[in-house]
Homo-oligomer: A and B are copies of this chain.
Amino acid sequence: MYSLLDLVLIDLYECDHETLLDAEMIKEGMLTAAGLMGAEVVANCFHTFKPWGVSGTVTIAESHLAVHTWPEYNFAAVTFETCGQGMDHRKAYRHLVEFFGSKNPKITLQKRGFMDAPQGELAYKQVVG
């Protein structure tokens, strides 16, 4: 199958509670994940909610990463959407499992955007404008 976009869903259960509260720390963790997978970071946007909870997105040349935390449930949902080839999702995933201290992580991979063109033609790297 020839696809344009990889969608990685990482559900992190039983995380370290304190980590889930700290937007600055989470931003660093996500930027590190982006680097580890080989992505080129373009921008980021992190926000802390009341009474708690952090949401963040990292725009990359290869699409984006996102994270949302639920401190009251020790849960964080991380999403990678990446195009192109050679992204090391596993490396980034391992880092985030450790970073969030998740004792029960889950990861799935889906493909989106199926085209009638050879995979080699579909996978190219855009230049950050």
Question: What count of chain A residues pass the 8 Å CB interface test?
Answer: 41
> With A and B bound together, what is the CA distance between A51 and B129 in angstroms?
8
Main secondary structure of the interface of A (DSSP, over half): strand
Beyond the given A49-B126, A57-B57, please list 19 additional residue pairs across the A-B interface where CB-CB is below 8 A: A4-B70, A4-B75, A5-B77, A7-B79, A9-B110, A42-B47, A43-B45, A45-B57, A49-B61, A49-B128, A49-B129, A50-B127, A50-B128, A52-B126, A55-B59, A55-B64, A73-B115, A73-B117, A77-B81
5 A–B contact pairs at CB < 8 A? Answer: A7-B9, A49-B126, A55-B64, A68-B83, A79-B81
**Closest 4 A-B residue pairs measured CB to CB?**
A49-B126, A57-B57, A50-B127, A48-B129
